[in-house]
Structure 1
Amino acid sequence: MNYTLHQLQVFLKVTEKQSITLAAEELFLTQPAVSIQLKNFQDQFPIPLTEVVGRKLFVTDFGQEIAKAAEKILNEVHAINYKTLAYQGNLSGRLKLSVVSTGKYVMPFFLNDFMKDNNGLELIMDVTNKLKVVRALEQNKIDFALVSVLPDNLKIEAVPLLDNKLFFVGSGELVHENLSKKQLFETRPLIFREPGSATRNAMEDFIAKNKYRSIKKMELTSNEAVKQAVVAGLGYSIMPLIGIKNELKNKDLNIVEVKGLPLSTTWNLVWLSSKKLSPAANAFLSYIKKEKEHIIEDCFSWIKDY
């Protein structure tokens, strides 16, 4: 057999995501590139590693066994790399984070200089909804999570990072409708995030608290998708300010003043109280505590305007 480490990485990611499309996104490759690597890897085995049933990809029992072996091989390779860096006096290892989807507008700014100063580190950051972030935290699969609503069922430590404000927004055309706030919520379509999203929960709580009978026109699985739907004029939504900076500046979106809004929470970097942090995780935590105020001032001072 003549498989490569790259083929092992691609196959392992495909088995994790059970999707060539999602694997390609996480590996920053095109779908054809992932498909070619998967085929070249499969050609070296007489038994199928994957199968497609009803347009959905499944990993065979044999494929699952090969995936376990691939993970062990790649972990050993990482260990060799880390030991080499450690002997050179460099910080090494993996930093694992899980970030709620809107947090992708926040976390990179708190990682940028740290990762540049420690190029021996490998960053693994999963961007998903709150439900899956909390699950990853609970199962001890990550070092840190970024959330705007603290989980109440886990013993955690937290470092507050940044204010998180949620506003009622519509496209430039929609916000000029001469409607009362009650009419906005009860006669115009609202666009929601998927169940499990903290933004979805906040939006539903606000509607319930004010006893609005809303029209749920659309449900979308990412903040970007909701934003584009609102920009296109398909409806209104309650959205985090952090993700709509450019659209507000360009007047593609406008904030509608509504009593009780904006909703305000705080972005928090959290970890399990019982977690034994790795040297890499400890170094990142120290960096955040020392540099967060500078990062906020340099990268997020615009939030004060709203």
Structure 2
Amino acid sequence: MNAITFRLLEVFQHVVDTGSVTAASVELGLSQPTVSLQLKKLSSIVGMPLLEYRQGKATMTDAGIAVYRCAQEVLTSQQKLNSQIQALQGLEVGSLKLAVVTTAKYIIPPLLSPFCKAHPNIDVRFTVGNREKIVDRLARNQDDLYIFSLPPSNPELACTPFKENRLQVIAPPDYDGPDDCDLKALQSKKFLLRETGSGTRRAVDDFCHKHDFHFDNVMVIESNEAIRLAVSSGLGLAIVSEHTLAQVPKETVRVLKVEGFPLITHWQAVTITSRPLSLASKAFLESLTQPDA
């Protein structure tokens, strides 16, 4: 009987995590036929199908779920070994897999750039996605480090605050309504808000609940850039991170003076306590918490 190898488990894990043979082949640097052949070989060794296709989408069978869990355990142990080897070799080799929510894409590159220049031989993989995507990657244990403004509540996570995330109320540049007021004075205005579940929306909803406030007229837009553009075009008011505003000329929107704002949350670096961190991951996490970070 053929043995299940690290490579077979790695290929299967990538196919499941990326959702397709095509995407997995790109990540692994292999041809699609090679990835398909590896999947077929692993299924043959197990003696049962690992994936089934419904309406063109691959889902794991019960056997596939068992193999995926095994792959997670085995590859995590392999990462631990790699981390120990890296400790013997020093920080100049290794890898860092980083996944961040969309708004954090404005703050992480300036922090990542000097780290990469100082350690050019470290392999860095940087993934950006909406909260749902990054939470899914976290659940699958796909990365070393995750960046959220409001991390999921889970005792198996270690969360390290490292930078303020200030939320402001913004209006179109020609806005002539209430200003220097409380939020209730703006209740009749249309607000463009992120989708329920996003970090920004959760912070806003918590603020509203605390102050017994609700919006009368809401339009949901699932992109910070789209919200900013919609506000600058006169579509309504919004509550967004200052990091979003820092990317555009100040005259494109108007920041209102609203009681309780800026609403301050903190960017947090999140790790899974059961996943061993490489020296590179530890070093980058430490760099985030430096006073000048």
Fold conserved between structures, TM > 0.5: yes
Q: Secondary structure at the match of 1:187?
A: coil
- Unaligned residue ranges in structure 2 (runs of 5+): 1-12, 37-52, 61-82
* Letter of the structure 1 residue corresponding to residue 265 of structure 2: T
Query: Corresponding residue for 1:190?
Result: 191
Query: Corresponding residue for 2:175?
Result: 176
Query: Corresponding residue for 1:215?
Result: 216
CA contact (8 A) 2:189 2:237 kept: yes
Query: Corresponding residue for 1:136?
Result: 138
> What's the CA shift string for 1:14-50, capped at 9, x where partnerless?
9755589xx6xxx8xxxxxxxxx979x99xxxxxxxx
Cα distance between partner residues in 2 of 1:53 and 1:153 = 32
The aligned runs of 1:237-252 (5 Å cut-off) are 237-247=238-248, 249-252=249-252
Task: Confirm or deny that 1:200 pairs with 2:208.
Answer: no
Q: Secondary structure at the match of 1:285?
A: helix
Query: Corresponding residue for 2:268?
Result: 268
CA contact (8 A) 1:154 1:272 kept: no
Shift of the 283–208 alpha-carbon distance from structure 1 to 2, 3 Å rule, reads closer
Aligned length: 276
* Letter of the structure 2 residue corresponding to residue 281 of structure 1: S
Q: Secondary structure at the match of 2:251?
A: coil
> What's the CA shift string for 1:194-220, capped at 9, x where partnerless?
222110111222233333341344222
- Unaligned residue ranges in structure 1 (runs of 5+): 1-11, 28-36, 43-51, 60-81, 296-306
Task: Confirm or deny that 1:111 pairs with 2:112.
Answer: yes
Q: Secondary structure at the match of 1:111?
A: helix
Shift of the 156–58 alpha-carbon distance from structure 1 to 2, 3 Å rule, reads closer
> What's the CA shift string for 1:95-146, capped at 9, x where partnerless?
1122122111111122111112222222223323168438606x43321122
CA contact (8 A) 1:185 1:215 kept: no
* Letter of the structure 1 residue corresponding to residue 110 of structure 2: F
Query: Corresponding residue for 1:120?
Result: 121
Q: Secondary structure at the match of 2:266?
A: strand
* Letter of the structure 2 residue corresponding to residue 225 of structure 1: A
Q: Secondary structure at the match of 1:140?
A: coil
* Letter of the structure 1 residue corresponding to residue 282 of structure 2: N
Query: Corresponding residue for 1:257?
Result: 257
Query: Corresponding residue for 2:279?
Result: 279
Cα distance between partner residues in 2 of 1:55 and 1:262 = 46
Cα distance between partner residues in 1 of 2:208 and 2:230 = 20
Cα distance between partner residues in 2 of 1:129 and 1:271 = 16
Cα distance between partner residues in 2 of 1:17 and 1:171 = 40
Query: Corresponding residue for 2:237?
Result: 236
Shift of the 159–99 alpha-carbon distance from structure 1 to 2, 3 Å rule, reads same
Whichever structure has more helix as a proportion of its residues is 1
Cα distance between partner residues in 2 of 1:55 and 1:216 = 39
Shift of the 250–57 alpha-carbon distance from structure 1 to 2, 3 Å rule, reads farther
Shift of the 240–130 alpha-carbon distance from structure 1 to 2, 3 Å rule, reads farther
CA contact (8 A) 1:146 1:267 kept: yes
Query: Corresponding residue for 1:164?
Result: 165
Cα distance between partner residues in 2 of 1:151 and 1:14 = 25
CA contact (8 A) 2:184 2:213 kept: no
Q: Secondary structure at the match of 2:113?
A: helix
Give the CA deviation at 1:282: 2.5
Shift of the 216–145 alpha-carbon distance from structure 1 to 2, 3 Å rule, reads farther
**TM norm structure 2:** 0.66
When the two chains are superposed, the root-mean-square deviation of aligned CA atoms in Å is 5.1
CA contact (8 A) 2:91 2:280 kept: no
Q: Secondary structure at the match of 1:251?
A: helix
* Letter of the structure 1 residue corresponding to residue 176 of structure 2: E
